[in-house]
């Protein structure tokens, strides 16, 4: 059983909606859906997050090896399918070696469709495995990465965050709700705080960091 912790920055605790819980349980069968869960630390993991203007989408074509795409997916937000790592000897890594510039799949990219069909995270995982053809096409969304400066001055940040108890380094803090009086504008549910004050940390440590007063955060912002 996989557990979830949702923390609001006014330090009250809340719990994810039942629909999210059910989705998370479905994802517990990720091995059957070719979802890889290992701590693969590549050179890409150690590079600082660059600020990127405007999100984009592109098509990634890969040949599955033994039914797997060679991608790791984050459990921090079960509503969407977000890349948390690339297996070094897998099909996705092969794609990255030969693709056009800026069409290499990266951390925090999101799979939005498989062979032209969109769906829930579990739908997409199932489609990646179930398609009988070895070659599949994934539509990948690359987020805009915003740098946001906040001086709280004793006020609440105004964000409700999901924190994965798996506490993996690149899980980040997933925004669940933006309150009306939030100090951060231009963000929405499923966006993800990935760096605070120049540091990429496991979720529990990121949560402690955002309790501070003067914050510089990098946030992955998606179209949907």
For residue 50, pLDDT beyond 70? no
How deeply is 159 buried, as exposed, middle or buried, from its count of CB atoms within 10 A (0-12, 13-18, 19+)?
buried
What does R_g of the chain's alpha carbons equal in angstroms? 17
% of the chain at pLDDT higher than 70 = 74
For residue 75, pLDDT beyond 50? yes
Cβ pair 76, 203 in contact under 8 A: yes
The 3-class SS string of 69-83 reads: CCEEECCCCCCCEEE
pLDDT tier for residue 49 given thresholds of 50, 70 and 90: low
Average pLDDT over residues 162-167: 78
For residue 145, pLDDT beyond 70? yes
> Under 8 Å CB-to-CB from 200, ≥6 apart: which residues?
48, 49, 169, 170, 194
Q: What predicted TM-score, i.e. pTM, was given to this entire model?
A: 0.75
Average pLDDT over residues 140-166: 92
- Tokens at 85, concatenated: 């790592």
For residue 53, pLDDT beyond 70? no
For residue 189, pLDDT beyond 60? yes
For residue 66, pLDDT beyond 50? yes
pLDDT in tens, 14-31: 333 323 332 222 222 232
Return phi, psi of residue 113, to 5°: -160, 155
pLDDT score of 54: 62
For residue 141, pLDDT beyond 80? yes
pLDDT score of 24: 26
For residue 74, pLDDT beyond 90? no
pLDDT tier for residue 221 given thresholds of 50, 70 and 90: very high
For residue 172, pLDDT beyond 60? yes
């Amino acid at each position: 059983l996989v557990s979830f912790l949702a923390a609001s920055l006014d330090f009250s605790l809340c719990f994810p909606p039942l629909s999210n819980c059910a989705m998370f349980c479905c994802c517990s069968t990720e091995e059957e859906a070719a979802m890889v869960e290992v701590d693969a630390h590549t050179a890409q993991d150690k590079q600082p997050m660059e600020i990127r203007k405007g999100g984009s989408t592109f098509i990634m074509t890969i040949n599955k090896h033994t039914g797997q795409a060679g991608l790791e997916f984050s459990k921090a937000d079960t509503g969407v399918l977000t890349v948390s790592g690339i297996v070094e000897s897998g099909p996705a890594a092969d794609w990255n070696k030969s693709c056009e510039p800026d069409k290499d799949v990266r951390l925090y990219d999101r799979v939005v469709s498989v062979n032209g069909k969109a769906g829930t995270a579990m739908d997409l995982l199932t489609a990646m495995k179930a398609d009988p053809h070895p070659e599949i096409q994934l539509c990948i969304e690359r987020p805009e990465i915003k740098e946001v400066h906040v001086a709280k001055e004793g006020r609440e940040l105004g964000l409700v965050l999901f924190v994965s108890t798996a506490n993996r380094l690149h899980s980040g803090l997933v925004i669940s709700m933006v309150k009306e009086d939030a100090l951060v504008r231009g963000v929405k549910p499923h966006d993800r705080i990935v760096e605070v004050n120049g540091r990429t940390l496991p979720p529990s440590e990121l949560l402690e960091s955002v309790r501070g007063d003067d914050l510089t955060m990098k946030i992955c912002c998606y179209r949907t």
